[in-house]
Each structure stands twice: as C-alpha cells, then as structure tokens.
C-alpha cells in the first residue's frame, strides 16, 4: 500500500510538472541503433538528459542524471552483447564507463560522457559487424580466444569449445574469418600488446611472457610483422603522449 501511495503521488506530480518518460518504442530504437552500429540513426534518436523534464531517481539533480546514465549503459550493454560484441568486452567497457559516470562533477560532464560513450559503442559495433556472418562454432572460438589471450590456446581447446573436430574448426574458421586460427590469435595478442606498450610500464619481456609468446625475440618478430616496427619503437612513438596527467601509475588494461 505504501508503494501505491508513493506511485499515485509521483504520477500526480509528473502530470503537474509535465514530466514524461521517453516513449518506449523510441527508446528501444535508440538502443537498437547502437547494437546495429548505425551512427546516423543513433545520432537522430539521441536525446540529451533534460534535468527539468526527466524522471526523478534522486532528489539530488547530479545524482539523478548519473543514475539515468548508468541505466542507459546497462541497456546498451545488453543490446551490444545480443548484437555480437564479446560478452567480457561489453561488460568491461560498461564497468569503465560507470566509473567515469561516478567521477563526473556536474550535469554537463555527464551529458558529454553520454554522447561520447554512445559513439564509442557504435564504433565498436561497426568493427565487429563481420561477426554477424560467423557460424556458432566460429563465434564461440572468437569469444574463447578473446578471454584467454594470456593463456596457452590449443586447437584441442577450440575443438572442445566449438563442439566440432579440430580439422573442421580449422577449415571453418579460415573460411569465415579469412585467416588461420594461429594468425588470428597472433593478431589479437599484438592488439593487446599495443595497448600494454602505450598504457602500462611493463617491459617488453613481461608483455611477451604475459601474452604467451615462446620467446621475446619471437614476440618482436610477430609484432613487427603486424605493425611494421618493433615494440620498442612503437612505445617510443606513443607512450609519452598517453602518460596520465596526474602522474599516476599505469595499470594493465583488460584483455
């Protein structure tokens, strides 16, 4: 009964102050546009948070708008996972943005972050659009590889994960992805290595070991094959640009 009384009061106040929630169909279309990687549609449907006319989740205006953005991030995460983004990648990105929401000091910064994260999710969905064409066994292998780049990955592992034979998954993966499983794993490990070189202070040897390269020299050879330069040169070109302004210690990014 107490909840019903509160609901009646809220409905009355919202009618009096012309507070309306976003139409359900429009809201779902907005989230779907992000899942589809459709930047034009997302921008058309994007609605900045209106502090005066939005639902009240907190008496504190800043906390109220933060709560709304956290809910949006949760919804976006659900849609991008359903649309093909790796689950762990989506949840890691969600965690990062929720921490950024928490750090916002005013309503304008929350709205700027809202627009920024929506564009970021769209870009990421555009990048993984090709996965929509992948069969279930290949998609399962891609997810497994993403989650285990810091571990030894064998063809037997991928056969068990995908539920098909080693020879079949090898042929199927090459056919759908365009490169061999070994080449794909190397490429993804180099992508992680690039982030670690730029955003951490780990040595090249540490990064090589973390990403399961047999030797440091082999890691350097593979890195140069994909990037056109050595890990050391890559770090020299990018590391200082990305030093944190507060002088804080850099940490290893999520794989």
Structural domains for the chain: 2-130 (no CATH), 133-242 (1.10.10.60)
pTM: 0.55
C-alpha distances (whole Å) from 174 to each of 52, 183, 231, 232 are 54, 10, 27, 31
pLDDT of residue 53: 56
Token pair for 71: 């809910």
For 176-195, what is the mean pLDDT? 93
pLDDT in tens, 229-242: 999 999 998 865 54
| pLDDT grade for 93, boundaries at 50, 70 and 90 | very high
| pLDDT grade for 252, boundaries at 50, 70 and 90 | very low
Instruction: Tell me the backbone φ, ψ of residue 220, rounded to 5 degrees.
Output: -60, -40
Q: What angle do CA 162, 167, 170 make, to 5 degrees?
A: 65
pLDDT of residue 5: 59
Is residue 171 predicted with pLDDT exceeding 70? yes
Using DSSP, state whether 204 is helix, strand or coil.
helix
Q: Check residues 8 and 195 and name the one with the higher pLDDT.
A: 195
For 32-56, what is the mean pLDDT? 80
Give the closest residue to 210 by CA, choosing from 150, 157, 142: 150
- Residues whose CB is less than 8 angstroms from the CB of residue 255 and which lie 6 or more positions away in sequence, other chains included: 146, 147, 149, 150, 192
pLDDT of residue 45: 86
For 106-129, what is the mean pLDDT? 90
Token pair for 249: 């210690």
| pLDDT grade for 112, boundaries at 50, 70 and 90 | very high
Give the closest residue to 68 by CA, choosing from 104, 15, 39: 104
Token pair for 1: 């009964």
Least confident of 67-81, 165-179, 240-254: 240-254
Contact, 164 vs 157, CB < 8 A? no
Q: Please tell me the distance from the alpha carbon of residue 108 to that of residue 62, in angstroms, as a whole number.
A: 10
pLDDT of residue 110: 94
């Amino acid at each position: 009964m107490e909840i019903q009384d509160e609901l009646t009061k809220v409905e009355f106040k919202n009618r009096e102050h012309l507070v309306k929630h976003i139409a359900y169909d429009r809201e779902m279309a907005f989230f779907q546009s992000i899942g589809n990687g459709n930047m034009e549609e997302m921008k058309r449907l994007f609605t900045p948070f209106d502090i005066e006319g939005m639902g009240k989740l907190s008496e504190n205006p800043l906390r109220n708008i933060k709560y709304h953005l956290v809910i949006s991030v949760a919804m976006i995460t659900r849609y991008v996972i359903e649309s093909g983004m790796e689950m762990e990648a989506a949840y890691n990105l969600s965690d990062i943005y929720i921490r950024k929401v928490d750090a916002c000091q005013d309503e304008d910064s929350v709205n700027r972050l809202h627009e920024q994260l929506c564009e970021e999710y769209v870009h990421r969905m555009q990048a993984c659009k090709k996965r929509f064409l992948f069969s279930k066994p290949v998609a399962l292998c891609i997810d497994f590889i993403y989650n285990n780049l810091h571990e030894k990955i064998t063809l037997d592992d991928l056969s068990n994960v995908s539920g098909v034979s080693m020879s079949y998954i090898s042929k199927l993966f090459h056919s759908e992805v365009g490169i061999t499983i070994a080449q794909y794993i190397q490429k993804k490990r180099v992508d992680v290595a690039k982030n670690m070189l730029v955003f951490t202070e780990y040595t090249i040897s540490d990064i090589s070991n973390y990403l399961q390269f047999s030797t440091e020299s082999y890691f350097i050879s593979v890195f140069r094959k994909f990037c056109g330069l050595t890990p050391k040169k890559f770090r020299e070109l990018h590391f200082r640009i990305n030093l944190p302004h507060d002088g804080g210690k850099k940490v290893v990014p999520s794989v």
